[in-house]
Amino acid sequence: MSLDLNGILSGWAFEPGQIKVRRVSGLDGRDKIQLRIDLGILQMEMSGRPDGVRPRGAESLFAWHQKKAREAEGRGDEFSLSAEDCAELQQEGIQYYHRYLALYQMKEFAGVVRDTQRNLDLFSFVAEHGEREELGQAFQQFRPYVLMMQTRARAGLELENDNYGAAIRAIEKGRDAIVDFFKSTGREEAAAESAEVSALDELLEEVQQKRPLTKIEKLKQELDQAVAVEAFEQAAKLRDAIRELEGREA
């Protein structure tokens, strides 16, 4: 059998600026994710470490280091990550980045939340245990982007069930988390220029516009229209209906 990949690649063209993803059935019977890139295809597991490897017998290199940190703490010893450890963890984190991008494109929002939280936990772990402060900073610079992706996925989960209010709250919470991160690092002014904050502001506006009006909001809209055409008798009835509904909700 030829090992040339051109036959596979020619049937699934790469398009710059577009994320092209598909789900396929693996030879092991489990579904896989494939992500088309310019020079080929990335294939990933749906769960666990994306490449399917179990480094040092653990689910991931991060999980292995977490275990070592717990063991050191139990003995009363210090635990630290070397620059080499952090470089390996960063490479592993990139695998999860590729997968949550693919999952988001597939609208597999629960998987996006899972993988983004995994990388956020990794950032905190390195910040706590890196042998030098700059090692943690090298990871933390990606926190706003990962928070944005997680927030979009959380909102997506809510919108799947038409929970517009919950989606709006999720977006606002995620936006606040990014702003708080910039404040905590002494870069409060960066929040105003943040592409991640801007993206969530746009998403928030989009969801708010699509959110169905409540009964009270519809009545208030009708009231404005009645007042505009001087239908004062109708306006009075609408005001009474609005007061009654607001009284029930109080």
Q: Taking residues 6-32, what's their average pLDDT? A: 92
Q: Mind listing the pLDDT tens digit for each residue in 193-244?
A: 999 999 999 999 999 999 888 888 888 888 999 999 999 899 998 899 889 8
Alpha carbon distance 85, 65 (integer Å): 9
Closest residue by Cα to residue 97 from 40, 55, 35: 35
pLDDT of res. 25: 95
> Which range has the worst mean pLDDT, 37-41, 66-70, 123-127?
37-41
Q: Taking residues 21-41, what's their average pLDDT? A: 94
Q: Is 80 exceeded by the pLDDT of residue 249?
A: no
Q: Is 90 exceeded by the pLDDT of residue 246?
A: no
Q: Mind listing the pLDDT tens digit for each residue in 157-201?
A: 999 999 999 999 999 999 999 999 999 999 989 998 999 999 999
Please report which helix (H) or strand (E) contains residue 94, including its range: helix 83-105
Q: Is 70 exceeded by the pLDDT of residue 250?
A: no
Spatial CB neighbours of 229, under 8 Å, sequence gap ≥ 6: none
Alpha carbon distance 103, 21 (integer Å): 8
Q: Is 90 exceeded by the pLDDT of residue 247?
A: no
Distances (CA, A) of 187 to 92, 122, 190: 28, 22, 5
Q: Is 80 exceeded by the pLDDT of residue 1?
A: no
Neighbours of 208 (CB within 10 A): 12
Q: Mind listing the pLDDT tens digit for each residue in 79-117?
A: 999 999 999 999 999 999 999 999 999 999 999 999 999
CA dihedral 104, 109, 110, 113 (to 10 degrees): 60
pLDDT of res. 113: 98
Q: Which pLDDT band, with edges at 50, 70 and 90, does 67 fall under?
A: very high
Alpha carbon distance 115, 46 (integer Å): 11
